[in-house]
Amino acid sequence: MKIGIVCYPTYGGSGVVATELGLGLARKGHQVHFITYRQPARLNSFQENIYYHEVSSADYPLFEYPPYDTALASKLVDVVKYENLDILHVHYAIPHAAIAYMAKKILLSEGRYVPVVTTLHGTDITLVGSHNAFAPVVAFSINKSDGVTAVSQSLAKQTYETFKIENEIKVIYNFIDFDRFKKVDKDHFKKAIAPDGERILVHTSNFRKVKRVDDVIRIFQKVYEEVPSKLLLIGDGPERHNLEQLCREIGLCNEIRFLGKQDAVEELLALADLFIMPSASESFGLAALEAMACEVPVISSNVGGLPEVNIDGKTGYLSDLGDVEAMAANAIRLLKDDELHQQFRENALEQAKRFDIDNILPQYEAYYEYILSNKVYADKS
């Protein structure tokens, strides 16, 4: 099968999932074409059956902003026609679902039909998509997609509640590649970060307000008072300056390390004793799943899809949004009880195995075949 994948080529969850999905499909013999404005962050080495098509926007004085939507639609038409794609899979509704619909209409006018599958990832529905300025286009684009998937039951439910959706939304969970994310011996790294055997807490995100990284620091502050520990903050984003300032105010700069964006995040997760995720919104919680695959228990909020991933009292603990006291208390409980901590490590790994890429990839393949063989898209033009 020849599959076109459209995504944001960033470190964010949707871009990571789209890239890892494409890599997995390519390993199974499918021809995968990534179509985006920059090479995806995790598409960092040559692999058979992988193709990359860069979208470039025209720089013309008339335009205050380059017309990326038009450029992407034109590139989709070109790639579908000349690479003879069977299906387009667009990740993140805004603007990719609408652009794919435009490209589909252009191709249809030339007698060529390509079905479009849209995967909803979270903020395209919960934050951006529900904004009055975008909502009508988002709902239209979802309904005009030939197939729609969501990464959690929670997100599917929220989409139905937010928009008037006629399409069935199929839940296909995010996944983990155990060839990459697994517990490995990194004692030499651990000693460099925690030379006196301190516990290591980790958080990774894009440092937006919705991730509540300030809560991570507040939780760590309380943990540090009870348990010798270090905090690794992986990622970057608009809140970084404020977070650095908070570390200075509470006097923990020597115990908290800002590591920036990291490609080999699995090597850092291998060092961790706990993963902290107090987000205000998570459609799934991919970062938590990656930690669990590395046998790291998770302390998280109970929002969105997180309860579908992190099982309270088994793989970690769930607390109400903003309840720093409870999250810190749960973290301290685990870190002080070696036997309980080890049990949670084992439980985290077993739960993560449910989301093994080898279990999830066949679900996408079957869905593509369903869309194609049943021609369910015939009335979507």
On whether the CB atoms of residues 296 and 351 are closer than 8 A, the answer is no
The residue among 323, 350, 310 whose CA lies nearest residue 152 is: 310
- In the chain, what are the domains? 2-175+357-373 (3.40.50.2000), 187-353 (3.40.50.2000)
Its pTM stands at: 0.88
Q: What is the pLDDT of residues 235-248, one digit of tens each?
A: 999 999 999 999 99
Backbone angles phi and psi of 101, in degrees to 5: -65, -40
On whether the CB atoms of residues 128 and 122 are closer than 8 A, the answer is no
CA 18, CA 91: separation in Å to the nearest integer?
7
How far are the Cα atoms of 49, 176, 210, 269, 341 from residue 3, in angstroms, in the given order?
A: 10, 21, 33, 32, 43
Q: What is the pLDDT of residues 326-375, one digit of tens each?
A: 999 999 999 999 999 999 999 999 999 999 999 999 999 999 999 998 76
Which band of pLDDT confidence, cut at 50, 70 and 90, is reported for residue 189? confident
The residue among 293, 204, 217, 163 whose CA lies nearest residue 11 is: 204
H helix or E strand, kind and range, residue 117: strand 116-120
Q: What average pLDDT does range 287-309 have in this prediction?
A: 96
pLDDT of 290:
94
